[in-house]
Structure 1
Amino acid sequence: MRTQFSIHEAKTHLSQLIEQVEAGGEAIIARAGRPVVRLVRVDEEPKRRRLGRLEGQFKLPDEHATPIPDTPDDFIDAVEGR
């Protein structure tokens, strides 16, 4: 079973390429003979992100926390404790 197709061939035979990939294969689409895209089967839905999953895992600084210094030199001095 052939795996590399030109962009023109892929456009012309897209449904056949999809069937080939669904059957467990893969298809490479090339531009000017150089592989550009690989078509592969999607096995499962991407997992949805769950809001609030980091709740309680870290603590935000108090409102009265030391502000970040204005200049890079002041920042380095603050980090180094000068």
Structure 2
Amino acid sequence: MSVNVKVAEAKAHLSELLARVEAGEEVIISRGKNPVARLSRVKKENELAMLIAEVRAARARAKPVSNDEILDWKREGQRF
């Protein structure tokens, strides 16, 4: 979930916004109507390593795909 706040509000409530970010929310800081910054949780290295391991495991479980299949999928979306 994403929350939009103005710069002044972000300055006044930074601690509260950081607590929300730590809880998993994303905060977009805007100047007027224009978004200028995003606050998001920093992933710890061990979290990143776990995500990489999950992706590698999923790829290992996937069945092999031939070049012909990939070309067929590519052609499927083309208009003639």
Q: TM-score, normalised by structure 1?
A: 0.51
Deviates more, 1:14-23 or 1:1-10: 1-10
- d(CA) in 2 for partners of 1:39 and 1:5? 11
Q: Structure 1 residue 34: deviation in Å? A: 0.9
Which amino acid in structure 1 is aligned with residue 41 of structure 2?
Answer: R
**More strand as a share of residues:** 2
State the match for 1:24 in structure 2.
24
Give the unaligned 5+ runs of structure 2.
46-80
Q: Structure 1 residue 33: deviation in Å? A: 1.5
Percent of pairs with identical residues: 51
Q: TM-score, normalised by structure 2?
A: 0.52
* Structure 1: 4+ residue segments shifted above 3 A: none
Which amino acid in structure 2 is aligned with residue 43 of structure 1?
Answer: K
Q: Structure 1 residue 38: deviation in Å? A: 0.5
- Higher Cα radius of gyration: 1
**More helix as a share of residues:** 2
Alignment coverage as a number of residue pairs:
45
Cα deviation, 1:12-59, whole Å, max 9, x if unaligned, reads: 0000000000000010000011111000000115xxxxxxxxxxxxxx
1:3 is paired with a residue whose SS is strand
Give the unaligned 5+ runs of structure 1.
46-82
